[in-house]
Structure 1
């Protein structure tokens, strides 16, 4: 990672993420959000990254997704719906949603990646993996690298600690594949294919959550200086101690 804003990110398979040059050493998010959405507070950071479970919350996240997709010229209208197998997280500044992603859990109807990458995903299921995916990732210019890292970390916690997943998949545009590989440890699976949901090419990537957990233990909470040196997002994740507190809090409110 260099001193510039992070590259455009992808979600399904690509979502624009514009970020400004960093102004703060750590992320802080606005508290002015619906009362039924839980804030998580640690000793080091207070953040308003929430699990969305209201029509209003899903509408705000959908607006951001469609704005970012349209900016990149991708096809389709993308609307979040109330689905027990999909967990949507958002980050907000001054009451405005600046980032969102959805964690899709495996179910009898599968995950969205099965539409074009079923063979690759089934190979993991056959080995006993519990799979999930990140989709509908969007980040606007009001966010920061730390907020982006917090979204990824919270999705990992929901996947690993609340739903016992072992691997996370993501579909990405070819020009952003190396970002996910370098910064978050994703690995490419299979060949480039066309994703009909956005009429764009996509690679399927996967990250092993056991490996990601080791990176959090090693680098979590060490901050931007280490992130710049290691060229990784993991130093911008919460520290192992903070992570334990977040896990306990989430399990208590389930």
Structure 2
């Protein structure tokens, strides 16, 4: 049961597919259409990071990708979503603080361009959401990682490596743009494309759309499912309190 760490935020959302359809058959089995309470937490312990890694490993294997585990560092934040004590989503955020980001292995020359411009980079990675989860779970993980990177630490850009067939999704749903073309990614045994998203652009989209889900049927991005901007100060304060003592100055 994943209930030993204080949640950053809790919210209700309905599952969007029957539990039997969820990848691997894991997780709680609510009544069809019944709202669930989701909690987003920081993985502060080795056990919670291992649980998050297990979900990523399962989802990668389901898609036929390799998975390479890595040591936890103070420059990487791992978030996870749980409902009913069961982990249903996770992502990690690697911060560029003088150490290579995962994307440097394949796109170091492209990241060097941004660093020379004075950009402060961070890399979302190991994003895994169990099938049948509300869009709010994905949006919550991304929004909290944005608050941590941009609002609390002043980072300026997301860079991510994605499989070529997922490029259109990240462009449409979050506004990423191609920054590196397609190259082989040795970590997952598949091709990867480097994408970039300046965090001031993400902030503008949050300010425009966040909290408006159900009101703008024509908006196809994930931003309406983000938390309303008025909730950001409280979420940021809880996030800062939870992470104090584990971060490098």
* 1:87 is the counterpart of 2:56: no
The answer to whether the 8 Å contact 1:58/1:80 transfers is no
Give me the whole-angstrom Cα distance separating, in 1, the residues matched to 2:70 and 2:40. Answer: 17
What is the total number of aligned residue pairs between the two structures? 221
Give me the whole-angstrom Cα distance separating, in 2, the residues matched to 1:42 and 1:175. Answer: 31
* 1:231 is the counterpart of 2:220: yes
Give me the whole-angstrom Cα distance separating, in 2, the residues matched to 1:148 and 1:48. Answer: 12
The answer to whether the 8 Å contact 2:2/2:86 transfers is no
* 1:158 is the counterpart of 2:127: no
Give me the whole-angstrom Cα distance separating, in 2, the residues matched to 1:42 and 1:247. Answer: 16
**Secondary structure, in 3 states, of the residue corresponding to 2:78?**
strand
Q: What stretches of structure 1 of length at least 5 have no aligned partner?
A: 1-31
The answer to whether the 8 Å contact 2:206/2:229 transfers is yes
Match of 1:173 in 2: 163
Give me the whole-angstrom Cα distance separating, in 2, the residues matched to 1:60 and 1:42. Answer: 22
Compute the TM-score of the two structures, normalised by the length of structure 2: 0.82
1:68 to 59, 72, 91: 59
Give me the whole-angstrom Cα distance separating, in 2, the residues matched to 1:176 and 1:235. Answer: 20
Offset, 1:150 = 0.4
Q: 237-246 or 33-42: which moved more?
A: 33-42
Moved over 4 A (4+): 41-47
Match of 2:116 in 1: 126
Offset, 1:80 = 5.1
* 1:53 is the counterpart of 2:28: no
Say if 1:211 and 1:56 are closer, same or farther in 2 by CA, change over 3 A: same
Say if 1:61 and 1:43 are closer, same or farther in 2 by CA, change over 3 A: closer
* 1:40 is the counterpart of 2:9: yes
Say if 1:106 and 1:65 are closer, same or farther in 2 by CA, change over 3 A: same
**Secondary structure, in 3 states, of the residue corresponding to 2:90?**
strand
Compute the TM-score of the two structures, normalised by the length of structure 1: 0.81
Match of 1:5 in 2: none
2:207 to 208, 214, 217: 217
| CA RMSD, Structure 1 to Structure 2 (Å) | 2.1
Q: What stretches of structure 2 of length at least 5 have no aligned partner?
A: 14-35, 245-249
Give me the whole-angstrom Cα distance separating, in 1, the residues matched to 2:166 and 2:78. Answer: 22
Match of 1:105 in 2: 95
1:245 to 231, 234, 246: 234
